[in-house]
Amino acid sequence: MSQNLPAIVVILPLVTAFFVFFSAWWVKRAGYVLVIVALAGCGALSVWILTAVITDGPIHYWLGGWEPPWGIEYRIDHLNAMMLVLISLLSLITAAHSKESVERELPDKTALFWSLYLLFVTGLLGICITADLFNLFVLLEVSALSGYALIAMGEDRSLYASVRYILLGTIGASFYLLGVGCLYIATGSLNMADLGQLLPDLYQSKTILIGFSFIMTGLGIKIALFPLHGWLPDAYAYAPSAVSAVIAPLMTKVMAYALIRVMFTVFQPDFSISVTHVTDVMVWFGTVAILFGAVMALSQSDFKRMLSYVIIAEIGFIVGGIGVANTIAFKGAVFHILNDAIMVACLFLVAAQIMYRTGGHRIDDFKGMFSTMPTTAVIFSVGALAVIGVPPTCGFFSKWYLLLGGIQAHQWGFVAALLLCTLINVALFFRVFDKALYVHGQDTGGAHAGIPGNPHPSGVPLSMLIPAGVLAAAIILVGIFNQVIVDEVIRYTVPSGF
Amino acid sequence: MSDLVPILISKVNYWVYIALMMIGLWAVIAKNNLVKKIIGMNILQTAVILFFISIGAKYNATIPIIMHGHDAGHHAVNAIDYINPLPHVLMLTAIVVAVATLGVALALVIKVHQKYQTLEEDEILAKMDEQ
């Protein structure tokens, strides 16, 4: 039994998704309980796997007993294990938070919603656990397809945003598949570790170079790296609150994980760094993404749209940090995947609470938040300080690593962009603080376009405040225990060629 | 010129997939109608599927069932006698993915049409700005 646990992490939400859908025919509320149970089970298994990896090293699991490179292998090292814990716990917290907001925003579709939610989580967990390039493509599409449907459930404009996301996302996935095909022609293998051994002899081959370019471009679309980010702001801003709170922090981060896998497990670091010089290009793309995201965020009047551009800037941090390609910056990039997911999730939960209370999510709706909904305001402050990067929140430490790495590698453009983005973030969030502290803003008339948004006078229920509070506490705890996390987990994710 | 013809002929499968892929990309980028865009997206996926299927083929090889091979059963299995089935199996999955994507996309387009009474992108954008 216990040796099959890696497979159960993926199968549990997948199977539960079907039961959630059918259980709604008999008992309307049973589906939600199943979701929580399944995600809690996933969370417990992921934590167990992480501790097993920390004590005993990487876990190999052969699906159906077929040896790699013929069969599909699940290979879990420190990086995967961290991602599994992040995905399962974050989706559990968001699910716990979203019961009320889903019932308010999507009253007829709760069972469908939760079933798609679990499929989305299944896809993300699968991407992170698999060691097979084609399997990764299939699970990428599982999460992307359920993501398209979830986003389309949102406000008026979400339909068109979702169509655009489908078109771009499918092009990205097709490019990725084409790249995998090129690698398969040259090597005859799809297993990541096997490819890692076969490819170094073929680094001068044009087929391999083309395959690598297609994979990087495809993942670049999925990760929403600056010139390929067009689908992201609309899709995340107009999706239902519960959907933004799970897709926005996780989807792009998981793709960043896939990028790291392709660059440093399938290909060896010296290919990415000295054969193709792709890391130099990534630093520049990252730098431009940071500046573009920060400036665009400043010009938004909608809180969720503003957060979407903050995500584009944060993606710039991660991609740039990978591109700097030294140990400290790489630690910073991996740590930032973790931190950014937590703090963006926290802020999107705040947006969901504002939506619940006032019926809108414009920055104007934050008016008087400190007096009308003080707990939400405190949670928002913690999230905002983390994005700005104030110690002891976690955002400070990953930025610090990225900054030190950039200085060590003499990437001054990247360092300048990091510092400038921090300054812009200060302006960004103090604009919201300014509204939130405005005492006379008692009118919460929120008849905005979109979902029926009559304001909820009784305030935000505890079932929403507690999960968001847990995330706010996690931001501070991850910050305080950053040394432990870096030493026990992130240190081992740094590829050996640095 | 005389060098080009053998390249064109011997790599014909690659030329076909490149042409299909460019047609698909062009439709996604240039067409104004959402259904045409989605058909372009589907052509692009099909191009990748054709690419994968064509790389499994070999000269003088048969379908990968041992009974059909040259002198089958009399000696050890000779991989060169059989085409490579793996890309084909992979593409079965990819076809399912492509069909599912097409289904989701068309379902969304139906909802878009119900909401805006049109499928032309510029008209949808104009109607969204009015609201």
Mean pLDDT of A416-434: 89
Flag whether residue B38 sits within 8 Å of chain A, measured between CB atoms: yes
In 3D space, the residue among B49, B62, B59 whose CA is nearest the CA of residue B17 turns out to be B49
**What are A62-90's pLDDT values in tens digits?**
888 888 888 888 989 899 999 999 999 99
Query: Residue B62 in 3-state DSSP?
Result: strand
Q: Backbone phi, then psi, for A50, in 5-degree steps?
A: -60, -45
Cis peptide before A69 (omega within 30 of 0): yes
Q: Give yes or no for residue A425 having a pLDDT over 70.
A: yes
Residue A446 banded pLDDT, cuts 50, 70, 90: very low
Q: How confident is the model at residue B125, as a pLDDT?
A: 86
Flag whether residue B34 sits within 8 Å of chain A, measured between CB atoms: yes
Mutate to test the interface with B, among A171, A182, A214 (most CBs of B within 10 A): A171
**What are A211-223's pLDDT values in tens digits?**
999 999 999 999 9
CB atoms within 10 A of CB A427: 12
Name which of B41, B93, B109 is nearest A138 (Cβ-Cβ).
B93
The answer to whether residue A390 sits within a structural domain is: yes
A4 contacts A65 by C-beta, under 8 angstroms: no
A221 contacts A172 by C-beta, under 8 angstroms: yes
A260 contacts A334 by C-beta, under 8 angstroms: yes
Q: Give yes or no for residue A371 having a pLDDT over 90.
A: no
Average pLDDT, chain A: 87
Flag whether residue B128 sits within 8 Å of chain A, measured between CB atoms: yes
Q: Which domains does chain B have, with CATH numbers?
A: 4-130 (1.10.287.3510)
Q: How confident is the model at residue B91, as a pLDDT?
A: 92
Percent of chain A at pLDDT exceeding 70: 95
Helix, strand, coil shares of chain B as percentages rounded to 5? 75, 5, 25
Contact between B51 and A141 using a beta-carbon 8 Å cutoff: no
Which residues in chain A have Cβ-Cβ distances shorter than 8 Å to B105?
148, 163, 166-167, 170
Q: How confident is the model at residue A279, as a pLDDT?
A: 87
**What are B68-110's pLDDT values in tens digits?**
666 666 667 777 778 888 888 899 999 999 999 999 999 999 9
Flag whether residue B111 sits within 8 Å of chain A, measured between CB atoms: yes
Q: Which residues span the domain enclosing A315?
A: 289-498
The answer to whether residue A347 sits within a structural domain is: yes
Residue A452 banded pLDDT, cuts 50, 70, 90: very low
List residues of A whose CB lies inside 8 A of any B CB.
134, 137-138, 141, 145, 148-149, 152, 156-157, 159-160, 162-163, 166-167, 170-171, 174, 177-178, 181, 184-185, 449
**How far are the Cα atoms of A173, A456, A468 from residue A363, in angstroms, in the given order?**
35, 18, 19
Q: How confident is the model at residue A1, as a pLDDT?
A: 56
Q: Give the span between the Cα atoms of A365 and A360, in whole angstroms.
A: 6
Residue A400 burial (10 A CB sphere; 0-12, 13-18, 19+): middle
Q: How confident is the model at residue A167, as a pLDDT?
A: 93
The answer to whether residue A115 sits within a structural domain is: no
Mean pLDDT of A346-353: 90
The answer to whether residue A80 sits within a structural domain is: no
Name which of A138, A167, A177 is nearest B28 (Cβ-Cβ).
A167
In chain A, the residue whose alpha carbon lies closest to the alpha carbon of B25 is A171
In 3D space, the residue among A324, A322, A433 whose CA is nearest the CA of residue A388 turns out to be A433
Least confident of A246-255, A389-398, A459-468: A459-468
The answer to whether residue A448 sits within a structural domain is: yes
**What are A291-331's pLDDT values in tens digits?**
999 999 988 888 899 999 999 999 999 999 998 888 899 99
Q: How confident is the model at residue A86, as a pLDDT?
A: 93
Q: Give the span between the Cα atoms of A383 and A404, in whole angstroms.
A: 23
Residue A450 banded pLDDT, cuts 50, 70, 90: very low
The answer to whether residue A306 sits within a structural domain is: yes
B18 contacts B107 by C-beta, under 8 angstroms: no
**What are B48-70's pLDDT values in tens digits?**
999 999 988 888 888 877 776 66
Give the total number of structural domains in chain A. Answer: 1
In chain A, the residue whose alpha carbon lies closest to the alpha carbon of B95 is A138
The answer to whether residue A73 sits within a structural domain is: no
CA A142 to chain centre: 16
A372 contacts A356 by C-beta, under 8 angstroms: no
The larger pLDDT score, comparing residue A488 to residue A417, is at: A417
Residue A27 burial (10 A CB sphere; 0-12, 13-18, 19+): exposed
Which residues in chain B have Cβ-Cβ distances shorter than 8 Å to A138?
93, 97
Which residues in chain A have Cβ-Cβ distances shorter than 8 Å to B115?
156, 159
Contact between B48 and A137 using a beta-carbon 8 Å cutoff: no
Which residues in chain B have Cβ-Cβ distances shorter than 8 Å to A178?
48, 51
**What are A93-140's pLDDT values in tens digits?**
999 988 888 888 887 888 888 999 999 999 999 999 999 999 999 999
Flag whether residue B20 sits within 8 Å of chain A, measured between CB atoms: no
Flag whether residue B79 sits within 8 Å of chain A, measured between CB atoms: no
Percent of chain A at pLDDT exceeding 90: 44
ipTM of the complex: 0.92
Contact between B45 and A170 using a beta-carbon 8 Å cutoff: yes
Longest CA–CA separation in chain B, Å = 76
Q: Backbone phi, then psi, for A441, in 5-degree steps?
A: -85, 65
**Parallel, antiparallel or unpaired: strands A73-76 and A59-62:** antiparallel
Flag whether residue B95 sits within 8 Å of chain A, measured between CB atoms: no
CA A105 to chain centre: 23
The answer to whether residue A477 sits within a structural domain is: yes
CB atoms within 10 A of CB A37: 12
**What are B31-50's pLDDT values in tens digits?**
999 999 999 999 999 999 99
Flag whether residue B23 sits within 8 Å of chain A, measured between CB atoms: no
Q: How confident is the model at residue A366, as a pLDDT?
A: 79
Q: How confident is the model at residue A151, as a pLDDT?
A: 92
Which residues in chain A have Cβ-Cβ distances shorter than 8 Å to B90?
134
Flag whether residue B97 sits within 8 Å of chain A, measured between CB atoms: yes
- 3 state SS for chain A: CHHHHHHHHHHHHHHHHHHHHHHCCCCCCHHHHHHHHHHHHHHHHHHHHHHHHHHHCCEEEEHHHCCCCCCCEEEECHHHHHHHHHHHHHHHHHHHHHHHHHHHHCCCCHHHHHHHHHHHHHHHHHHHHECEHHHHHHHHHHHHHHHHHHHHCCCCCHHHHHHHHHHHHHHHHHHHHHHHHHHHHHHCCCEHHHHHHHHHHHCCCHHHHHHHHHHHHHHHHHHCCHHHCCCHHHHHHHCCHHHHHHHHHHHHHHHHHHHHHHHHHHCCHHHHHHHCCHHHHHHHHHHHHHHHHHHHHHCCCEHHHHHHHHHHHHHHHHHHHHHHCCHHHHHHHHHHHHHHHHHHHHHHHHHHHHHHHHCCCEHHHHCCHHHHCHHHHHHHHHHHHHHHCCCCCHHHHHHHHHHHHHHHCCCHHHHHHHHHHHHHHHHHHHHHHHHHCCCCCCCCCCCCCCCCCCCCCCCCCHHHHHHHHHHHHHHHHHHHCHHHHHHHCHHHHCCCCC
Flag whether residue B109 sits within 8 Å of chain A, measured between CB atoms: yes
Flag whether residue B124 sits within 8 Å of chain A, measured between CB atoms: yes
